[in-house]
Structure 1
Amino acid sequence: MPIHLHPTRTALRRSALWALLASSALASAAPAPDVATAAQCAVGSYRMADGGSLDIGPGATAEQLRWRLPDGRTGQLQARGHRRWASTLGWTDRADGHTVQLPACGSTTIRFDGQRGQRIALVQTDTRFVSGGVTLAGRLTLPPGNGQVPIVVLVHGAEHDAALPTYSLQREFAAAGIGVFAYDKRGTGDSGGRYTQNYLTLANDAIHAARQARRLAGARAGRLGYQGGSQGGWVAPLAARIEPVDFVIVSFGLAVSPLDEDREAIAYDMARAGVSADDTAKAMEVADASAAIVGSGFTDGFTQMAAVKARYGHLPWFKAVRGNISGYLLATPEATVRVDGPRLLEGVPADYDPLPVLEHLDVPQLWLLAGQDRDAPPGQTLQRLARLQRDGRPIQTAVFPDADHGMYNFERDAAGERVSTRQPDGYLRLMQDFILARPLAASYGAAKLAAGPRSTPP
């Protein structure tokens, strides 16, 4: 979710460690300390006997791991004996039948469902760099060899988690021949400073990260660009407008303001609930009240919100209103909002309109959107991007129709809540093709490419 204010399942997933899994029978076991050590030793990318790659990354706890395949399939691993680990489907607690035999510490051989793989000798360089007087922790990951490769800088969403231990794209891109620079957002992990959601500050951090990536990569640095997820979809284009790069990828981000995002999320809630157009218009009064509260710095607008609740709170459709900012305001007592709201939205330009930046951005862009995104519905964003395409901006879009925010396909549990199962087929491959400047296919999995004036970045 671009602004993390209420604990949806998406927010829990992106906050790293899935508290829901931690409370399950699978995660509640207390393995021996050597299990955690084995897990740490196994983290890496592996070239399998069939030529494909397998990523092993940290799991929900120090004693768990997560495997990922390039087609988006994934599962969480739990120790089941000497170096043998069993898997559960996606972020569910349901066994999926996959088994992994991990390498011993110091070894390079892995087996996934009996197929042998060898660890890829990725070249990683940890570093520190300064942005706006704050020292940030970063890491450059390069594929093996000495040849020139494109470099992608990973730009954060709104999560408070550190990127360096959790971003699997560091290894997944590098395994495909792409250099990757990741860094802990200010105020997270090993980076200094205070956490912020100020887009200009974060864009400057991204610019300094790109400079550091190019410096460290040296002669190996080819084309360089950004990949920004969620809130990073506001930050990465802004950074590219200030200091041009060779490409920008936006994943499940928006071309509208945070307040417009809230309105569109409420409209999505109403559509899913089968609410009439008349009642949907009434639901927008919630968004109006939310905008008044946020616009006042959480000092005014509460009477307006109370009046909306009094008028409509008893009606069946009202309980379906979730929104983004509005969901937090509806669920939280006024006294708490007055105290916590300014901190939660500190630095966020809630009425920030990214369109002026995008109208003047000549950097080739790839926008990847999730068709079932509850937190950042893509409708208005797609309309704006289509208009920019017609005006000649170098923008391409693809919608993965079955994915929710974070680009995750899902199933529903017994309570009707969404539980992520995998990333959609084609998502990683499309990003890799774009970064590597390969000709793009017409479709990737269930997503069809809506091409702008250029089919590949220069």
Structure 2
Amino acid sequence: MLLLASGQPAAWAQMRGNDCPIGSYRLDDGSHVDVGKGNDDHLRWRRQDGTTGELTRGVDGTWTSTLGWTGRDDGKRIGFDCDAGRITFAGVPGRRIELEVTDTSFDGAGVRLAGRLVMPKGNARVPIVVLVHGSEHSSARDSYPLQRQLPAEGVGVFVYDKRGTGASGGNYTQNYLLLANDAIAALGEARRLAGVRAGRIGYQGGSQGGWVAPLAAKIAPVDFVIVGFGLAVSPLDEDREAIALDLASHGYGPDEVTKAMQVADATAAIVASGFREGYDQLAAVRAKYGDEPWFEHVRGNISFFMLDNPEATVREQGPVLLPGVPAHYDPMPVLRNLDTPQLWILGADDRDAPSAETVRRLRALQAAGKPITVAVFPGAGHGIYEYETTADGGRVDTRNPEGYFAMMRDFVLHGRLGGRRYGTSAIYRAGEEEQVAGPPVAGPARR
């Protein structure tokens, strides 16, 4: 464990070359910009309004930027003076925000995990968010920008590498109960390190974290849970909903969807068996429908892997890609019995984790009196990303929508969203009808 008085963790303080600019900066116009790791030798900037771009370093030391993930130059030029902790972002100078950072290791459920507590400077008590992984295999400590963005606005963050990733021990798994127990251990470590500065504390989980975080909160109570682009249905139901959406988006109707559900049944049998059985059933469905026009559009969230690869590959790689996944896990018993305030943020155009049934279920829980707030962003896909559609029907992400970061920040700081508007999102609260979207949120909420 190491606490640096300079406010930069060991991993950041020793960076040179392309990595030395990593940090959050306060610009002279009062706004913030975060710079973190990107792909390969690139960096990525993000602003609290949801805009983002990839940075590439030129021979003169100046960094050029592209719009979102499009690869198109957005005209911004960024310069860094790492020794002085300064940035010039699109012509506006700024200075690195000093944060108090503690790197640590702690015991999860039978493994040693690597974590990091990032706190705003000072002695004041602050709320703390524990970031719960999605299904990725990468290091959260390397890649999660919220570990700097939230502390830059008065919120503490604990980020950790889940088992089998980054610097943490153990084997990668998708066993939600095991991951929930690791999250509980992470929360305990965050509370221990923060000491008297620890205020309200809870979880923020994206995608798969939407199954794990509420489960952890039910086992060991917390003050709040935020779920981003998660689901209130099982993993296999997610696949079925994604397949139905695949076909609907290509103009097919109920008859074709009914046939496609036989594909989903076959792939579900393979997953549920641990990739040991069910291949004859899938082969039979493929032989029956493989030549029909709709079949090529069946993708789903899991099925595409079994449709695109030979049986030998699926048998070998399936258990590695989805180790321990509770395919039939039903999150509703946990959610029906969870009285923790929750904020669910969903994308209306999410093709990986379709949100319609989850919204319906969450609204039913609201009607039953559960303290759940639901925010749905139109035109946003998985990750709550806005996107451009390519000629072949694919998507290229451009940014998070206005208001996405602000609603997470405000929910952590105040335990509610209040009456504010957050970009174009439709907000549903227990006992209320839809709140019509209004002007985007301009800045941080006042305490």
- TM value normalised by structure 1: 0.89
Q: Bigger shift: 408-417 or 381-390?
A: 408-417
Q: How does 1:166-177 map to 2 (within 5 A)?
A: 166-177=143-154
**Alpha carbons 2:18, 2:57 under 8 Å: kept:** no
1:380 aligns to 2:350 (yes or no) = no
Matched residue, 2:8: none
Residue 262 of structure 1 aligns to a residue in which SS? helix
Residue 226 of structure 1 aligns to a residue in which SS? strand
Structure 2 counterpart of 1:333, from 287, 310, 330: 310
**Alpha carbons 1:290, 1:326 under 8 Å: kept:** yes
> Residues of 2 paired with 1:285 and 1:443: CA distance?
43
Structure 2 counterpart of 1:427, from 395, 404, 409: 404
- Residues 177-197 of structure 1: CA distance to partner in whole angstroms, max 9, x if unpaired? 100000001111110111111
> Residues of 2 paired with 1:210 and 1:339: CA distance?
35
How far residue 414 of structure 1 moved from its aligned partner, in angstroms, is 4.3
Q: How does 1:11-90 map to 2 (within 5 A)?
A: 37-61=16-40, 63-90=41-68
Structure 2 counterpart of 1:398, from 375, 395, 400: 375
Structure 1 counterpart of 2:159, from 182, 190, 215: 182
Match of 1:73, as an amino acid? T
Q: Bigger shift: 81-90 or 386-395?
A: 81-90
> Residues of 2 paired with 1:343 and 1:108: CA distance?
42
Matched residue, 2:92: 115
Match of 1:380, as an amino acid? E
> Residues of 2 paired with 1:435 and 1:157: CA distance?
20
**Alpha carbons 2:24, 2:96 under 8 Å: kept:** yes
How far residue 412 of structure 1 moved from its aligned partner, in angstroms, is 2.6
- Residues 28-72 of structure 1: CA distance to partner in whole angstroms, max 9, x if unpaired? xxxxxxxx82332211011111211110111212x3211111011
Matched residue, 1:250: 227
**Alpha carbons 2:407, 2:417 under 8 Å: kept:** no
Question: Aligned pairs, how many?
Answer: 419
Match of 2:300, as an amino acid? G
- Residues 313-336 of structure 1: CA distance to partner in whole angstroms, max 9, x if unpaired? 111111111011111111111122
1:301–1:96 distance in 2 versus 1, CA, 3 Å = same
Structure 1 counterpart of 2:272, from 295, 299, 304: 295
> Residues of 1 paired with 2:420 and 2:103: CA distance?
38
> Residues of 2 paired with 1:352 and 1:416: CA distance?
32
Matched residue, 1:360: 337
> Residues of 2 paired with 1:50 and 1:131: CA distance?
43
Match of 2:399, as an amino acid? R
Residue 141 of structure 2 aligns to a residue in which SS? coil
> Residues of 2 paired with 1:298 and 1:355: CA distance?
26
How far residue 81 of structure 1 moved from its aligned partner, in angstroms, is 4.1
> Residues of 1 paired with 2:277 and 2:164: CA distance?
29
- TM value normalised by structure 2: 0.91
1:129 aligns to 2:109 (yes or no) = no
How far residue 287 of structure 1 moved from its aligned partner, in angstroms, is 0.7
**Alpha carbons 1:150, 1:224 under 8 Å: kept:** yes
Matched residue, 2:138: 161
How far residue 376 of structure 1 moved from its aligned partner, in angstroms, is 0.5
Match of 1:101, as an amino acid? G
**Alpha carbons 2:388, 2:395 under 8 Å: kept:** yes
Match of 1:69, as an amino acid? R
1:340–1:79 distance in 2 versus 1, CA, 3 Å = closer
1:216 aligns to 2:193 (yes or no) = yes
1:312 aligns to 2:270 (yes or no) = no
How far residue 311 of structure 1 moved from its aligned partner, in angstroms, is 1.6
Unpaired segments ≥5 residues, structure 1: 1-35
1:442–1:263 distance in 2 versus 1, CA, 3 Å = farther
> Residues of 2 paired with 1:131 and 1:365: CA distance?
24
Q: Bigger shift: 427-436 or 323-332?
A: 323-332
> Residues of 2 paired with 1:453 and 1:221: CA distance?
32
Residue 328 of structure 2 aligns to a residue in which SS? coil
Structure 2 counterpart of 1:225, from 202, 225, 230: 202
Match of 1:47, as an amino acid? R
> Residues of 1 paired with 2:208 and 2:172: CA distance?
14
Matched residue, 1:448: 426
> Residues of 1 paired with 2:78 and 2:419: CA distance?
33
Matched residue, 1:389: 366
> Residues of 2 paired with 1:273 and 1:445: CA distance?
29
1:226–1:282 distance in 2 versus 1, CA, 3 Å = same
How far residue 442 of structure 1 moved from its aligned partner, in angstroms, is 5.0
How far residue 293 of structure 1 moved from its aligned partner, in angstroms, is 1.7
Matched residue, 1:15: none
State the percentage of identical aligned residues.
59
Matched residue, 2:245: 268
**Alpha carbons 1:162, 1:188 under 8 Å: kept:** yes
> Residues of 2 paired with 1:170 and 1:106: CA distance?
22
> Residues of 2 paired with 1:343 and 1:60: CA distance?
23
Matched residue, 1:102: 80
Residue 42 of structure 1 aligns to a residue in which SS? coil
> Residues of 2 paired with 1:41 and 1:297: CA distance?
44
Residue 30 of structure 2 aligns to a residue in which SS? coil
> Residues of 1 paired with 2:318 and 2:74: CA distance?
42
> Residues of 2 paired with 1:110 and 1:83: CA distance?
12
**Alpha carbons 1:142, 1:178 under 8 Å: kept:** yes
**Alpha carbons 1:368, 1:397 under 8 Å: kept:** yes
Match of 1:80, as an amino acid? G
How far residue 298 of structure 1 moved from its aligned partner, in angstroms, is 2.4
How far residue 453 of structure 1 moved from its aligned partner, in angstroms, is 5.5
Residue 306 of structure 1 aligns to a residue in which SS? helix
